[in-house]
Structures are given as C-alpha cells and as structure tokens.
Amino acid sequence: MANKPALHWLLPAVLLFSVRFSAFGADTSGNLITNGGFEAGMQIWKGDGKIVLLPDGNRVCEIDASKSRMKDLKQEFHLKQLQQVEVVFRARSIKYTGPGLRISIHQIGGGSMIYNKDLPADGSWGHIRIVYTRAGGNIDTRELNIATLIGTGQVQIDDVEVREPSKVVENQPPEPATPATPVPAATPAPPAKPVPPVAVVKPPAPPVAPPPSTPAPQPSPSVPVGTFGSLQQILSSAPPEILQKIQNEATAAEGKAELDKYFSANIKGKPARLQVHIDQNRLELREKQRFLIHVTDHPATTWNARKLDAWMWIKFPEESVPADERIGAGTEPTLSGVIVRCQVAKGGQFHLDVDLGQTKLEGP
C-alpha cells in the first residue's frame, strides 16, 4: 500500500492558522472594518489609541482626550461598490469632560462627512450609529475617523463595524452584571466576541506616532474658560449638519450662508487666544495699527485632510503695536483679543476670514 501523507501535524497547523487569521480581524459576515473588536490589539488601526484590558478579559481601545487638539482613531476601508453603509460602535467616557465624539468618513483625495455624537453622562456604554451615503465617484476607499473633541479624561471604543445597512445588527442595551434575559428568536443577536484566555497577559501598548505626512502638533497655551483656543475649535462649535452642507458641492452655498449666520450669532464678540503660524504678512496693506496676515491653525489640525488656515485682520491698541518682525512670515505668536468678524471664505479653497480686535501679542 502506498504511503499516505501524515495528517496528524497538518490539521493542527491549519486550525492554528485559521484561529490566528480570525483573531487578526478578518471578517466574513460583511464588516468592512478589520479588527473592529481590538482582539488583535491596535493592528490595522492608526492614531492616538491604546489597548486596555478590562476586568472581564475584553480588550477595548482607549483614547486620552486633550485640551489642545482632537485625539483620534482611524482605519481605511473599501466600500466595495456599496452606495450606503452604517457605522456602529460602542463608546463610553472615563472621567471625560468635553463635547463628545466627532466621527468623520473621509474620501481619499476628496472631502469628508462629519458627525458629532454625545456620550452617556453616567459613564455607561453608549451605542453610536451613523449612516453614510456615497457622494459619487469611482474611488471606493474611505477612512473612518473616530475622535474625541477637546476635553479631559478618557474615552473607550469597542466593537466598531461598517456594514451595509440591511446587514447591521440592531444595537443591544449595555450588558448587565447578571445573566441577560434570552433574546427572542425574531431578534438577531450580535455575534459573540471571543474572550482572551485568562493566561493571556495584557501586551504593552505600541508607541503612538503621528502619520509621517503630518507634523507633530505643538502644545497650545492654556486657554481660559469661555475663550476660543484655536480656529478648529471655532469651526467645531458649529452644528454638524451645517458642516456637512459645506462639504457637499450641491449644498455648499446654503451651508456657507448658515455657517456665516451661526458665526455672527455665536462667535462674534467672543474672546480668543490663538497660537498660530503666520504664513504671510501683507505689510503693504497695513493701516496704522491694523495688519492683514495669513495664518495656519496651531496646533496642527485638519479640514478635509489639510491644515485649517485663515486670513486675519488683527488690530492692536495704539500703545502696543508690535514691531513688524514680531508678526512676520514664519513667526508663531500667540494672539489674544476679541473676535469682531468671522465668516467662511468667499472663494477658492475653504478657509476662515477672522478679524481680531483689541489684539495683544503674547509671544514670542
């Protein structure tokens, strides 16, 4: 009889490969996100998150909020010709104080859709759900970005899914401490997450570094309560439905009008303390104590994958007009004052037009 190949080692090897491939996050049930439950740590994900092992053995991603910039967690995915998808995940705050989460879906080489969501005030798990509709074009690559808005404390994220709407399992309430009542047969239950063995030791969090194309953000000076600390914070304060209109060419004009109206009612007259990078100083347009400068928001934040910038008229009191070189191109001063005008640019690429009165130069 011919010798048959020994299968006693082949089967375990195949099983081991299958288990490891599944743990890495490969999904056969329609989830376009890889490693959405963080069983494989931060594999595939980029950004500011770190893995935390909960007492029940579950691994979640934790983001430390910042007072100077939004912290985020992101991953690219492919729509696979789908025209609409739903993004669902769980999130909770750990002594977090801030406006909540900003979820954005960015089209590579194009614009972004932005959604702001609150978190439960009691620290319980909240179920976040948004619907994203494809705006057109042949490119199906997108980037999901989940960010904490400016604040303090931590936010934990888990069970991230991007699916065709008809394939999304309805959100269930947070898991109780006691055994849950059996789910009726008519309601599909979410797939169970594998729990790591007790012997598994929490791996050290991988070092977090900003993407190569983005400079590391610089620390922002402390900002008093009620004072705007960056251009991004001014923009982020607007209702998300207005920001969505701005990014859609078909509704951009309507969005601009609504955003300008919002700025006039809510931003004008408010104090600001802005650390900026001056890209250009139009000294030929100087009017006594009044200067026109082009600035980039600092610390570095992005709008549609580029730094947020603005043209600013800054007016100093007569007795405190700085020397021209102190606000020349390439300097990074801190400007404080009162916002006397704020509106969206009338043409060209998106930026803000801001006038700052009673300006004081605090450095360098």
pLDDT per residue over 185-205, tens digit each? 444 545 555 555 544 444 554
- In a 13 Å sphere around the CA of 246, the CA atoms on its Cβ side amount to 26
- Interacting residues of 292 by C-beta distance below 8 A, sequence separation 6+: 281, 282, 285, 286, 311, 312, 313
For residue 77, pLDDT beyond 70: yes
Q: Count of alpha carbons within 13 Å of 128, Cβ hemisphere only?
A: 28
Q: Where in the chain is the domain with CATH 2.40.50?
A: 231-363
User: 317 versus 253: which is more confidently predicted?
Assistant: 317
Rounded to the nearest integer, the mean pLDDT of the chain is 77
Domain spanning 27-167: which superfamily? Galactose-binding domain-like (2.60.120.260)
Mean pLDDT is lowest, of 69-73, 84-88, 234-238, for 234-238
Q: What is the mean pLDDT of residues 330-343?
A: 90
Instruction: Map residue 14 onto helix, strand or coil.
Output: helix
Q: Going by C-beta distance under 8 Å and a sequence separation of 6 or more, which residues neighbour residue 49? A: 42, 61, 62, 63, 73, 157, 208
Task: Say which DSSP state 100 is in.
Answer: -
Specify the range with the lowest mean pLDDT, choosing from 160-164, 191-195, 265-269: 191-195
Residue range(s) occupied by CATH 2.60.120.260 in the chain: 27-167
pLDDT surpasses 90 at 28 = no
> CA nearest 228: which of 349, 342, 112?
342
* Edge-to-edge strand ranges of the sheet holding 126-133: 50-53, 59-64, 152-163, 84-97, 126-133
Alpha carbons within 13 A on the beta-carbon side of 198? 0
Lowest mean pLDDT among 14-28, 134-148, 334-348: 14-28
Q: What is the pLDDT of residue 137?
A: 67
Provide the pLDDT for residue 276.
Answer: 87
Using 50, 70 and 90 to split pLDDT, how confident is the model at 60? Answer: very high
User: Could you tell me which residue, 291 or 304, shows the higher pLDDT?
Assistant: 291
Per-residue pLDDT, averaged over 242-248, amounts to 79
Higher-pLDDT residue of 230 and 247 is: 230
Going by C-alpha positions, the residue among 244, 349, 348, 249 that lies closest to residue 307 is 349
**11 — pLDDT class (breaks 50, 70, 90):** very low
Model confidence at 29: pLDDT above 90: no
Among the listed ranges 23-27, 186-190, 233-237, which one has the minimum average pLDDT value? Answer: 23-27
pLDDT at 7 over 60: no
What span, in angstroms and rounded, lies between the C-alpha atoms of 298 and 290? 22
Q: Is the Cβ–Cβ distance between 159 and 35 less than 8 Å?
A: no
Asked whether residue 229 carries a pLDDT value surpassing 50, the answer given is yes
Q: Which ranges of the chain would DSSP assign to H, the alpha helix?
A: 10-23, 231-236, 240-247, 252-266
CATH 2.40.50 fits 231-363, yes or no: yes
Q: What is the model's pTM?
A: 0.45
- pLDDT of 52 over the 80 cut: yes
Question: Is the per-residue pLDDT at 4 higher than 70?
Answer: no
C-alpha–C-alpha distance, residues 291 and 311, integer Å:
10
Is the pLDDT at 19 greater than 70? The verdict is no
